[in-house]
Structure 1
Amino acid sequence: MSSSPFLSLPAAIELPDAVDSGVPSHYGSPNIEQRTLERGQAIVDLSTRAVVSITGPDRRSWVNSLASQSVDDLAPGVSTEALFLGPQGRIEHAVGIVDDGDTLWLLVDPTTVDDLVAWLERMVFMLRVDVADRSPEYARIGMVGADLDIEAAAPAGIPLIWDDPWASVLPGGWQYAAAEHPGADWRWREVLVPRESLPQLAARVRSGELRVAGSLAAEALRVAAWRPRQAMEADERSIPHELDWLRTAVHLHKGCYRGQETVAKVHNLGHPPRRLVLLHLDGSESVMPPHGATVLAPKGDDEREVGHVTTAAMHHELGPVALALIKRAVPEELDLVVLDGETRIAAAQEIIVPSGAGATAGVPRLPRLGARTRPGR
């Protein structure tokens, strides 16, 4: 794909190590861009993120048999999301989904699109479906709300618009977060546009008709909403429970799919080994820890490694914050430390996934064989 025309806009800056390299990270004022984006007055260039199409009369039932979410009755224009899990329930692919009555469209992180398409093609067998990477044809534009005049592609007559379902728990889902959820105010939307229309959109920005925000602004709002993203929060060991992704990407009562046994077992009888937290970072060092930065917890007179930062951001209201995956057993009231090289950053936990998440079946523990019990027990 050619370079994004948004990179030629005045003040556009692409950070070389950003997860969304290839598009502007910011335009000189990240905090102002965040506020503008949050108010629904700006668009974000997401044109490096991938788009996959699945056509054919068996597309919904086929994806339904493979994915964690129920999509066999997905109505045209309705948005959802799903995970494709490994045999042990670990996250391999996370996708946004919208159907236009003719095609099922998947929104995919670019780092996983080739593997996803290859795996789906291996799973076709005799079904009437066709899988294709449509990223060369379609680009994604992000925004908050639905008030901006961006014409979506509509090859089958239904506009290709994905409204992120994170604002509420979907039918069949489950929320582990016990506090009032900041995601309730999340109104993220992605519009699929023909890739050849990107220069015209950039020209509208240059003329002042549209305002823009960089990818850093979108990431900061996502972190504040506790919204996981595969490219940042998931690793080779991640299961949905650790990220509170049962809210919107898993249907606990649908038919069988790969990884379902682990999903059910951990949710009903066990506990996820790690838990996602929001860290409020001490900003006195003016350091933003990178993805993968070590998280330490005190242990006696020493410290131990308990997890890592997944996404850090400077939020326009919360200040420096980060999502992090830490061990489940870390006490929730404990203050932590993030290491960035030799720099130590104090971090306070805000609980997303509680340490007691899971075990919803409430099965009483039986005494061990041969154990003595008190009379009357």
Structure 2
Amino acid sequence: MNENTNAEANLREVLSHFIIEGSISSVRLYGSGHIHDTYAVTNGTPDSPDYLLQRINHNVFKNVPLLMENIELVTRHLRQKLENLPGARPDEEVLTLVPTHAQQSFYQDAEGNFWRVYLLLDGTRSYDIVETPQQAHEGGKAFGKFLALLADLDTNQLHDSIPDFHNVESRLRLFEAALQRNPKDRARQVPQEIAFVQQRAEQMSTICRLGREGRLPLRTTHNDTKFNNVLLDKYDKALCVIDLDTVMPGYVAYDFGDAIRTTVNKAAEDEKDLSKINVDFHLFKAFTEGFLQETCSFLTQEEIVSLPLGATLLPYIMGLRFLTDYIDGDHYYKIHFPEHNLQRARAQFRLVEVLEANMDLLRNTVQETATLCKTTEAEQQK
């Protein structure tokens, strides 16, 4: 018996603990995710569903039972809300967890690995790079609708799956600690990058500060709104928001900012040629329109004002994390060459600079779009 046969036999054994309809035809590696091991499970029985099997990375997510409680709570809430909306398709618009025979949302094997199963959503696609304003608009609608449906979910019921994930003040403390350690003597090689971080530290802490002051409400946010976490149908219409591992209390600006980071810049996250890093404002406008169309009815004015700052904050945080890892000796992110984390940091910081240079345009676009959405909504209610 070869290694592949052994591996499939082990995966089939894991699947036997879940309530699977039909018969398993094949189990194969699926997708390009960096965190979990994901497998597509093809059903051999006609009219029975296919499945998605995942081994959850418990090095990243330290408390898997609490993580799965979050996902159960959020998917249940989304499904209940959609069932009351005309024309909604809850089975296609929400991820469906498949329970174990013990009626749990996950299974832990003898080696301590955690596994979960979702129904596989057929006929969907995702994009790593946004190609058209329509796609950007649909992505905005998808993430906006996700926030809107969860706006009445009590954040006290949620656990922090990764504490301080987008807390820039915490990230800055980790950065300063890495500078003090400086184990590879790399700090002297990056004075410009260090200055870039420190010059913006106070401004980038604004959202944390407004939150502490009670001026920005904590909401149930996704916290990993990369564009490829939206599934679109064959007509490029948004269908379902996926990857719910980081759903926890946060600020709306985080979700808006991370989505903009991965929507408007067509260069790679680790682009070496910084001149290629630009912002496509047609995509920014299209995403913003879709997002605010779904959220303007419940967002406060202070939250709307915070959105453009979120657009600069998230690439700043990502650059900060890459630079911290570079100075600290490349422990967190996988690298493909010695200065990979530094190249990533420089690309993210360049994106921050481009967005900062166009901040008036960002602010005007957000405010004008929000005003139009509120006007349209008021007219519809007459």
Q: Aligning the two structures, in what range does the TM-score lie when normalised by the shorter sequence? A: under 0.3
Which of the two has greater strand per residue? 1
**Normalising to structure 2: TM-score of the pair?**
0.26
**Normalising to structure 1: TM-score of the pair?**
0.26
